[in-house]
């Protein structure tokens, strides 16, 4: 210190203080800064009475208060430090001192135009103000400066500096607590400035802003409620969990302490209820703790009104959610009294264009459904359309919440109530959102209460407009709905549930989207287990007849994409033994859908499916009756007309497909007799043979090969029924032998193999001498092709000659010996001669 300490302690403290303050007028900022420190030291080290301090303040305030305006940032900072020491730590509480400080504070940080350009100094001034508010809390001394505090804080809370915004919010809360009886006069002035913190990028600022608004509303009128509710609700979408927890904390305070809370429960409740289903466990637990407190207080405040419920509704309901604790009576009653105002808002916001809004709203719906229980029934009509829409949301979190809410509603709301609203929606314009909600209602419903109504649900699902859907997501939800119904199924004697579910699954499998790889025929096995059937075979056996009758709708008009046609195709390939049990129904459809006038692509598809069915004749026709009649009609009405030649590539492809199917049908299968008598086969033989012989000349090598193979199979069946005669042989073999010269190697190979079968079991009449010319023609033709370039053809000819040796051995030996010198295949000649001799 420049002055002697002894002199200071014994002299007039006012004069000493003023002498020190004269240095504050120095041009040197270091001198000004030093003067403040000297004055602080003097006041600290001198024993001064309150009167002395007041006199010193009165004489020197013009100097040190003015340091807040100093051009040097260091001096301003030191000045704030000195004022903090003087006003907060030294001087007694007296509004006299504040009258000199507040005008400067308002000037520096309370004006619209930025006066104090240093962020650090603005923060120091704000902290100084905060300390003043805390010191003068709950005193009349602070009351005159409420307006000044309001002016300052309304500006600082909008400051760009995050720490200043945080501190401002805290300061506003302190001011509200310091002047609880007067703060309401200026409370609403703080709302708009404080709301600017809600959108700040720093989460701590947002948290303090929420707390600040929470306190402001406690002192505001009803107008403020509408001003803050939407911004508060938006903070439920915040990505930072502590921000959402703060919203719940503030909501709890409003619900328990706000004086007009009973008028605004419906607006405040969603802020806390949404937190009950927050994705973060800590937030959920804290929100639940707050909510229980709110419920218990409401119960206590309304004890007289709720006395009956408190006395008699002690036991929990018979059916309730697993692993979920039922909310206390106060919580339930609070929601139930206001659900009429909350439900329409949920219905509206569930269809918001903002994804976060839909997500939080879906969480709120879960909480409201849990608390409202059966009382939400009267509002279901308004909320269901929004649920249907939200069930199709791209955000899976929204969908999960809608499913959860639907399950809760299904538990509490009777089937008769929700079905009258859900079913018409599904029937009128179904989309997969409807099915999602429906299956969730079913899954949530108690099994004891809903199983009797399952037939009504399945009657809706089995309608063609629903189960014939080809949409990917619709099919997925349909299968899930079937699974939900299966969980609730109880067997009854006359129930149609089994057939309805069978039709739904078969239709969905037949029409499934290519990406739905999980929708397979195996789903029927699960259905069979649900229906207590021994196997999937019984499922087909019991219900295939009814399904065939339903899909038999003008088969001639079917196209490649006709739903009934796709289902029929699946029936042909997958029905197994049930195919043979329903031959008449299947035949009636086949005769129409395979008519030559129907869509070619559809015919090809059905012929292919029929081919697959014929590949397992031992299974397909295991339990069949009147199988011979089926094949007679099929060959006469379907195969014969389809084998007739028509021009065009489509007709050519059709003949190939028909021949393939016929070949599979005629292939021998143990224990399956396609033709009961020879007379029946003779009639069919005479109709088919000319067409097959004509097909041997077809332009398609595949058709030619298949025709040859079909003739071979037809001959086998004829031999079995003892109707194969010499005329048949003489008619057939020349046409097949012509194919030995076919340009396609596979046809030559096939015709050679077929000849072996044709000449096997030759009629004894054909071996007689007057058929020698035929024998010579056959042997000469075979020897000609015995020199084929392909070695495997030579081997096949060798096998045919072995069989011919049974017809006319001497002639064969003679011909070989005579032509041997002319043949290149000497080894083959020697081998055949060796075999013959």
How many angstroms separate the CA atoms of 293 and 331, rounded? 9
Contacts by 228-232 with C-beta closer than 8 Å and gap 24+?
A: 228/191, 228/195, 229/267, 229/268, 229/271, 231/195, 231/198, 232/271
**Range in 21-30, 47-56, 288-297, 772-781 with the lowest mean pLDDT:** 21-30
Closest of 306, 307, 242 to residue 275, by C-alpha: 242
Instruction: Give yes or no for residue 311 having a pLDDT over 60.
Output: no
Identify the three-state secondary structure at position 673. coil
Instruction: Give yes or no for residue 609 having a pLDDT over 90.
Output: yes
Instruction: Give yes or no for residue 832 having a pLDDT over 80.
Output: no
Condensed to tens digits (0 to 9), the pLDDT of residues 35-66 reads 888 888 888 888 888 888 888 888 888 788 88
Residue 10: the pLDDT is 46
**Range in 323-332, 388-397, 513-522 with the lowest mean pLDDT:** 323-332
Instruction: Give yes or no for residue 287 having a pLDDT over 90.
Output: yes
Condensed to tens digits (0 to 9), the pLDDT of residues 251-266 reads 999 999 998 898 999 9
How many angstroms separate the CA atoms of 483 and 354, rounded? 33
**Domains of the chain in sequence order:** 241-312+326-413 (1.25.10), 725-837 (1.25.40)
Residue 711: Cβ-neighbour burial (10 angstroms; 0-12, 13-18, 19+)? buried
Instruction: Give the confidence band of 534 by pLDDT, cuts at 50, 70, 90.
Output: confident
How many angstroms separate the CA atoms of 806 and 799, rounded? 12
Cα 223 to chain centroid distance, Å, stands at 42
Read off the tokens for 577: 């033994």
How many angstroms separate the CA atoms of 82 and 87, rounded? 8
Bridge partners, 365 (sequence order): none
Instruction: Give the confidence band of 2 by pLDDT, cuts at 50, 70, 90.
Output: very low
**Range in 118-122, 342-346, 678-682 with the lowest mean pLDDT:** 678-682
Map tokens 């439920």 to a residue.
236
Instruction: Give the confidence band of 314 by pLDDT, cuts at 50, 70, 90.
Output: low
Instruction: Give the confidence band of 824 by pLDDT, cuts at 50, 70, 90.
Output: confident
Residue 185 half-sphere exposure, CB side, CA atoms within 13 Å?
Answer: 13
How many angstroms separate the CA atoms of 538 and 550, rounded? 19
**Range in 2-11, 452-461, 541-550 with the lowest mean pLDDT:** 2-11
Residue 384: the pLDDT is 94
Q: Is 667 left (phi over 0), alpha (psi -120 to 50) or beta?
A: beta
The DSSP call for residue 672 is B
Contacts by 555-561 with C-beta closer than 8 Å and gap 24+?
A: 555/589, 555/592, 555/593, 555/598, 556/592, 556/593, 556/595, 556/597, 556/598, 557/598, 558/593, 558/598, 558/599, 558/602, 559/599, 559/601, 559/602, 560/599, 560/601, 560/602, 560/605
Condensed to tens digits (0 to 9), the pLDDT of residues 477-525 reads 999 999 999 999 887 756 789 999 999 999 999 999 999 999 999 999 9
Instruction: Give the confidence band of 309 by pLDDT, cuts at 50, 70, 90.
Output: low
Using a pLDDT cut of 70, give the percent of the chain over it.
Answer: 97
Mean pLDDT of the chain: 88
Cα 66 to chain centroid distance, Å, stands at 68
How many angstroms separate the CA atoms of 138 and 535, rounded? 83
């Amino acid at each position: 210190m420049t002055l002697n300490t002894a002199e200071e302690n014994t002299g007039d403290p006012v004069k000493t203080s003023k002498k020190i303050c004269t240095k504050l007028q120095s041009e040197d900022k270091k001198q000004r800064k030093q003067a403040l420190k000297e004055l602080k030291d003097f006041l600290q080290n001198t024993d001064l009475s309150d009167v002395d301090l007041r006199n010193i303040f009165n004489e020197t305030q013009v100097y040190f208060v003015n340091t807040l305006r100093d051009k040097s940032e260091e001096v301003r900072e030191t000045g704030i430090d000195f004022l903090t020491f003087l006003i907060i730590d030294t001087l007694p509480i007296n509004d006299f001192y504040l009258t000199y400080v507040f005008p400067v504070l308002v000037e520096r940080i309370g004006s619209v135009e930025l006066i104090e350009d240093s962020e650090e100094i603005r923060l120091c001034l704000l902290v100084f103000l905060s300390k003043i508010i805390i010191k003068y809390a709950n005193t009349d001394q602070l009351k005159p400066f409420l307006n000044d505090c309001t002016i300052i804080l309304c500006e600082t809370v909008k400051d760009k500096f995050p720490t200043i915004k945080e501190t401002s919010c805290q300061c506003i809360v302190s001011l509200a607590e310091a002047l609880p009886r007067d703060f309401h006069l200026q409370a609403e002035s703080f709302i708009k400035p404080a709301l600017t913190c809600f959108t700040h990028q720093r989460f701590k600022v947002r948290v303090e802003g929420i707390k600040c608004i929470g306190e402001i509303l406690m002192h505001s009128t009803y107008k403020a409620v509408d001003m803050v509710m939407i911004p508060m609700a938006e903070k439920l979408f915040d990505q930072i969990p502590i921000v959402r927890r703060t919203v719940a904390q503030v909501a709890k305070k409003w619900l328990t302490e706000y004086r007009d809370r009973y008028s605004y429960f419906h607006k405040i409740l969603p802020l806390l209820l949404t937190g009950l289903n927050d994705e973060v466990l800590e937030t959920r637990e804290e929100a639940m703790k707050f909510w229980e407190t709110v419920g218990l207080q409401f119960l206590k405040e309304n004890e007289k009104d709720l006395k009956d419920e408190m006395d008699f509704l002690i036991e929990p309901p018979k059916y309730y959610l697993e692993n979920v604790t039922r909310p206390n009576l106060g919580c339930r009653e609070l929601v139930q009294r206001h659900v009429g105002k909350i439900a329409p808002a949920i219905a509206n916001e569930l269809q918001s264009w903002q994804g976060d809004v839909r997500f939080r709203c879906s969480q709120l719906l879960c909480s409201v459904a849990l608390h409202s229980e059966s009382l939400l029934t009267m509002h279901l009509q308004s909320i269901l359309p929004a649920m249907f829409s939200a069930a199709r949301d791209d955000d899976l979190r929204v969908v999960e919440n809608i499913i959860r809410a639907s399950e809760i509603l299904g538990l509490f709301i009777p089937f008769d109530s929700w079905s009258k609203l859900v079913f018409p929606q599904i029937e009128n314009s179904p989309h997969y959102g409807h099915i999602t909600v429906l299956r969730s209602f079913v899954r949530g419903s108690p099994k004891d209460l809903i199983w009797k109504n399952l037939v009504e649900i399945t009657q809706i699902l089995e309608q063609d407009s629903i189960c014939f859907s080809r949409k990917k997501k619709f099919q997925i939800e349909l299968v899930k709905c079937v699974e939900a119904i299966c969980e609730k199924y109880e067997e009854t004697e006359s129930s149609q549930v089994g057939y309805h579910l069978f039709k739904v699954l078969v239709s969905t499998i037949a029409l499934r989207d290519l990406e739905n790889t999980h929708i397979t025929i195996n789903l029927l096995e699960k259905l069979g287990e649900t229906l207590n059937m021994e196997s999937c075979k019984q499922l087909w056996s019991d219900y295939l007849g009814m399904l065939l009758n339903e899909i038999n709708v003008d088969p001639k008009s079917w196209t490649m994409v006709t739903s009934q046609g796709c289902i029929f195709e699946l029936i042909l390939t997958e029905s197994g033994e049930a195919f043979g049990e329903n031959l008449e129904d299947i035949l009636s459809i086949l005769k129409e859908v395979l008519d030559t006038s129907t869509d070619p692509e559809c015919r090809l598809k059905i012929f292919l499916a029929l081919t697959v069915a014929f590949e397992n004749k031992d299974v397909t026709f295991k339990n069949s009756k009147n199988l011979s009649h089926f094949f007679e009609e099929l060959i006469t009405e379907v195969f014969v007309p389809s084998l007739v030649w028509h021009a065009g590539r489509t007709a050519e492809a059709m003949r190939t497909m028909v021949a393939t199917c016929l070949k599979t049908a005629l292939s021998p299968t143990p224990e399956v007799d396609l033709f009961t008598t020879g007379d029946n086969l003779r009639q069919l033989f005479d109709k088919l043979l000319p067409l097959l012989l004509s097909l041997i000349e077809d332009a398609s090598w595949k058709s030619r090969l298949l025709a040859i193979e079909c003739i071979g199979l037809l001959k086998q069946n004829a031999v079995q029924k003892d109707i194969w005669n010499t005329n048949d042989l003489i008619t057939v073999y020349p046409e097949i032998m012509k194919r030995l010269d076919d340009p396609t190697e596979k046809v030559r190979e096939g015709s050679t193999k077929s000849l072996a079968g044709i000449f096997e079991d030759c009629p004894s009449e054909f071996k007689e001498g007057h058929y020698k010319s035929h024998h010579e023609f056959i042997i000469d033709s075979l020897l000609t092709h015995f020199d084929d370039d392909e070695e495997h053809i030579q081997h096949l000819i060798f096998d045919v000659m072995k069989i011919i040796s049974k017809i006319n051995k001497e002639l064969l030996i003679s011909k070989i010996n005579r032509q041997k010198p002319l043949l290149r295949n000497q080894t083959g000649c020697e081998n055949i001669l060796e075999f013959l001799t």
